Amino acid sequence: DTGVSQDPRHKITKRGQNVTFRCDPISEHNRLYWYRQTLGQGPEFLTYFQNEAQLEKSRLLSDRFSAERPKGSFSTLEIQRTEQGDSAMYLCASVGDVPYNEQFFGPGTRLTVL
């Protein structure tokens, strides 16, 4: 157990619905990453935060995706108008101090869009 939690662990939804995932990082970590992973691929970078500031967002991410980290603690990832291609594992990683940059992953949220 890395100390990073994600909720829910599994989500099944119908195409067109909105979904929101939550990540609670390690409390003293100020950086947080979101990734998407599909079978046979490595985690694909979506976005990252330093405290409450979203510093970078992947160009692959459509406008249907949004992430927040309102108080620099937990973060949420929302997908609007889900599509079948959004089915994947969504992973959150908590990152400690520079210069170590070691990422500690939560268990992930597995999304299935029907």
Partner 1 sequence: RKEVEQDPGPFNVPEGATVAFNCTYSNSASQSFFWYRQDCRKEPKLLMSVYSSGNEDGRFTAQLNRASQYISLLIRDSKLSDSATYLCVVLRGTNAGKSTFGDGTTLTVKP
Q: Which parts of this chain interact with partner 1 (CB under 8 A)?
A: 2, 31, 33, 35, 40-45, 48, 50, 55-56, 91, 93, 95, 98-108
Residue type, 2: T
- CB closer to partner 1, 45 vs 74: 45
Q: What is the closest distance, in whole angstroms, from the C-beta atom of residue 114 to partner 1 in the complex?
A: 20
Q: What is the closest distance, in whole angstroms, from the C-beta atom of residue 81 to partner 1 in the complex?
A: 26
Q: What is the closest distance, in whole angstroms, from the C-beta atom of residue 14 to partner 1 in the complex?
A: 24
d(CA 77, CA 69) in angstroms, rounded, equals 9
Which whole-number Å values give the CA distances from 66 to 22, 62, 75, 81, in the listed order? Answer: 12, 9, 11, 12
- CB closer to partner 1, 40 vs 70: 40
Which residues neighbour 5 within 8 Å (Cβ) at sequence distance 6 or greater? 23, 24, 106, 107
- CB closer to partner 1, 25 vs 43: 43
- CB closer to partner 1, 80 vs 96: 96
Q: What is the closest distance, in whole angstroms, from the C-beta atom of residue 108 to partner 1 in the complex?
A: 5
Which residues neighbour 113 within 8 Å (Cβ) at sequence distance 6 or greater? 13, 14, 15, 82, 83, 84, 85, 86, 87
